[in-house]
Amino acid sequence: MPHKKNTIRTEQIEGLARLARGYMSAISENIRTWEARAIEQSCVERVAWLDLFQTTFQALKVLDGVLEKLTIYPDNILEEIYLLRGAYASSEAKDFLKKHLASQGIGHEDAYRIVQLSCFNVFEPEPARLAIRNHLPSSYAETEWLLKNRVPLLKQTVVSIEDFIPAGQLRISESLDITEEQVAQYNLALQKLFSENEEIKAEWRTLFSPQYLLRNENYLYEQVFGKDL
C-alpha cells in the first residue's frame, strides 16, 4: 500500500508489550510453593525477570523517542474539534443544565438525555447523504457514477450543540427511546432558561471555550507545545 505510513515505533511498543505480558505470565505461574522452591521455578526466573526488565526498558526508550519527535498538525486538530460539533463539552453542558434547570423539574437523568439527544440531532445525516445511505448502488457502474457525480456535491452543515441546545429545537431521534412529550418538555425548559438571562447565555458559551476546558492543563500544554497558556 504505497499511501500507508507505517507507525514503526508504536508498532514496536505494542510487540514489546505483548512480549512483556508473556514474561509476566511465566513469572506469575511460577509462584506455586511458598515453603520450598525447585529448579522449574529458578530456571524460569533467571531468564524471565532479566528479559522482562530489558523489554520494559526498551519499550520506554522507544516511547520516549516517539513523544520527543511527535509532530503535531494544529490545522488537523482544529478541524477535528470543529467537526465534533461541541460534543467535546458534553459533560460540562450536562452539569450546567442539571444545575440551572433543577427549578423546572429537570434532574440529572433529564439533563443527560437533553445533551445526548442534541448530539444525536446535530450528527444526523443531511438528505443528500441519507439518500445514498438508503439506496445502495446495485452495480459497479452506478457506484462509479455516485463517486464522480454525487459525492463531490455532498455538503456538510456543521451545527454545534453550543447553538443547538439554547435554541430549544430538540427533535425525536430513531436511535433513542424518547417520547414526543419528553422532547416538548425539554424544549420548553431550554427556551425558558436561555431567554431570561444574558448571564446564563454567557456562562453557557464559556463551557465551550478552550480556555475553560483546558483550565487545569497549563502544565501539560507547556510540556507538549513548549509554550505557556
> How far is Cα 128 from Cα 52, in angstroms, rounded to an integer?
55
Question: Which of 111, 112, 90, 89 lies closest to 102 in space, CA to CA?
Answer: 111
Q: Tens-digit pLDDT profile for the chain (229 aa)?
A: 787 777 899 999 999 999 999 999 998 887 766 666 778 888 888 999 999 999 999 999 999 999 888 888 889 989 999 999 999 999 999 999 999 999 999 999 999 999 999 999 999 998 888 888 898 899 999 999 999 998 888 888 899 999 999 999 999 998 899 999 999 999 999 999 999 789 999 999 999 998 888 888 777 777 766 666 5
pLDDT at 96: 97
Grid coordinates standing for 24? 509476566
Q: What pLDDT, on a 0 to 100 scale, did the predictor assign at position 163?
A: 96
Helix, strand, coil % (nearest 5) of the chain?
70, 0, 30
Contact of 164 with 121, CB cutoff 8 Å: yes
Q: In this structure, are residues 175 and 123 in contact, taking their beta carbons and an 8 Å threshold?
A: no
Chain centre distance of CA 33: 46
How far does Cα 108 stand from its chain's mean position?
22
Strand intervals (E) in the chain: none
**Closest to 100 in 3D by CA, of 192, 35, 23:** 192
The helix/strand/coil state of 222 is helix
Full DSSP string of 94-149: HHHHHHHSGGGT--HHHHHHHHHHHHHHHTSPPHHHHHHHHS--SSHHHHHHIIII
Helix 198-206 and helix 180-196: axis angle, to 10°? 110
CA–CA distance, 111 with 186 (Å, rounded to integer): 9
514474561: which residue's cell? 23
The residue among 62, 57, 61, 55 whose CA lies nearest residue 8 is: 62
Amino acid of residue 48: A
pTM recorded for the entire structure: 0.75
